[in-house]
Amino acid sequence: MAVQQRKNYCNGEWIESDSEETFSVTNPADGSVVAQFPKATGADAERAIQAAVGAQDAWAETPGPERGAVLRRAAGLLEDRAEDVAKTLTLEEGKTLAEATGEVQRAVDILYYYAEKASDLAGDAKASSDQNSRLRTVMEPVGVVGLITPWNYPIAIPTWKVVPALAAGNTVVLKPASQAPTVAHELADCLDEAGLPDGVLNVVTGSGSEVGSTITSHEAVDAISFTGSSAVGELVRESAAETGARIQLEMGGKNPAVVMPSADIDEAVDIVGAGAFGVTGQACTATSRAIVHESIYDEFVERLADYANDIEIGPGLEAEMGPQVSASELESTLDYIEIGKEEGATLEAGGDVPTVDGDGHYVEPTVFSDVESEMRIAREEIFGPVVAVIPVSDFKEAVVIANDSQYGLAASVITENLSEANRFIDKVEAGVVKINEKTTGLELHVPFGGTKRSSSETWREQGDAGLDFYTTTKTVYLNY
């Protein structure tokens, strides 16, 4: 595959960076170069922001059905290219082709979903206490929004931020993650071909210190949506506080799956295994802790280890689990595996670098048993295919352990006991709660977000809630 030469997208044109410098995006399976991108400067980000400012009024005044028509055309274009875009996603990020195909389809579905929503953003009529007046609300765009997105879902997350922002009448400056920006450019290309006016969407690639900080600290940026690590998210929060920008932060997780005695063991293993090792464990909603009742603990650990050992590892175009996205991510995962050993946890499966052809960033799916809640592998986000299995004596203890975390993103309980299921819903501290399902996987039409250090706990993403962040409400009193 030829190396793609990419440019920034600004004011409706694909342009070079002022720096004239580039960086390479490499295939984590073998180190080959997939694409080259501009290493943008603060001046490039400034230009993109000014383009968004210039386009804002006209796009806000564009009727909702017309905005929706652009999104609908873009959905069709992306759908036509889905196979090629999915392959590119696998080559630059590493996940399997099946996972990449599902992610691209999610982007298509989001475009179609908000294309219809754009026609219905008028506000509500309310009853007035005066018979000679009318009372209603009007929904209006926030203005210019800055979006900073991660590499692990490199088209789904940009899409579920960009598209509701556009549907609501905002203009956008997007900085995709440098490890996997190519498919975000494919999204921009589809929107451009669909007739999106110049300046409404701008995409700038480069470092967080140059591009990201310019976006988050700029007085003209009215709202900032960020997905990434909690550490960087806190910096974004501080920067936005100085300008008064509205913020939406979705950050880390240490997601538990509680397994109770009534659960079918085979089903429980499949749920936990898929949640822990899918997308190579590189998901903020990945199952990182399995909290298992002591009466089934040994059997569960044995079967989960077998599940991990049976996973075929290799390039995403061929295998069941692909590489980690970069050498640094692999190194971090291997460091945590060593920490788990040093802390006294028992390594039941994996824990090593497998033998795979090519110079890829591979690690074996890893299972630790005899884990205590105080251990670092049970408390810190690993972002790799590592799961810590913690024994508990009863349901009450399981919920206490599940909540013993600085994070609160997703949580699951696997049980056939209706009382336990409902008590878990009531007691667990998480923004997403699942019963007999893996912690990963989201529907596009319902709210997504976390609690504690997993989120700013301001506005949720996706569905109708995804539009709330990008709109303000004006209340109109009409006395006739």
Q: Is the pLDDT of residue 429 over 90?
A: yes
Cα distances from 359 to residues 32, 334, 458, in angstroms, run: 9, 16, 42
Q: Is the pLDDT of residue 2 over 90?
A: no
Mean predicted confidence (pLDDT) in 111-139? 94
Percent of the chain with pLDDT over 90: 95
CA angle 349, 347, 276 (to 5 degrees): 55
Q: Is the pLDDT of residue 340 over 80?
A: yes
Q: Is the pLDDT of residue 196 over 90?
A: yes
pLDDT at 359: 83
255-435 shares the fold of 4-251+455-479: no
Domain residues of the chain, as ranges? 4-251+455-479, 255-435
The alpha carbon of residue 156 and the mean position of all alpha carbons in its chain are separated, in whole angstroms, by 7
Q: Is the pLDDT of residue 357 over 90?
A: no
CA neighbor of 45 nearest in space, from 258, 206, 191, 275: 206
pLDDT at 164: 98
Cα gap 37→176, rounded to integer Å: 11
pLDDT, tens digit, 9 for 90 and up, residues 149-183? 999 999 999 999 999 999 999 999 999 999 999 99
Q: Is the pLDDT of residue 4 over 90?
A: no
Check if the beta carbon of residue 43 is closer than 8 Å to that of residue 18.
Answer: yes
pLDDT at 219: 97
Cα gap 67→64, rounded to integer Å: 5
pLDDT at 358: 78
pLDDT at 1: 59
Q: Is the pLDDT of residue 470 over 90?
A: yes
Q: Does domain 4-251+455-479 have CATH number 3.40.605.10?
A: yes
Q: Is the pLDDT of residue 303 over 90?
A: yes
pLDDT at 41: 95
Cα distances from 123 to residues 118, 138, 295, in angstroms, run: 12, 5, 54
Residue recorded with tokens 């460091």: 335
Catalytic residue, chosen from 46, 186, 250, 461, is 250
Residue recorded with tokens 């995006």: 25
pLDDT, tens digit, 9 for 90 and up, residues 235-283? 999 999 999 999 999 999 999 999 999 999 999 999 999 999 999 999 9
Q: Does domain 255-435 have CATH number 3.40.309.10?
A: yes
Cα gap 369→321, rounded to integer Å: 22
Mean predicted confidence (pLDDT) in 185-198? 98
At 293, give phi and psi (nearest 5°). -60, 140
**Known catalytic residue at 443:** no
Beta bridge partners of 435: 413
Cα gap 470→170, rounded to integer Å: 7
Confidence of residue 47 (pLDDT cuts 50, 70, 90): very high
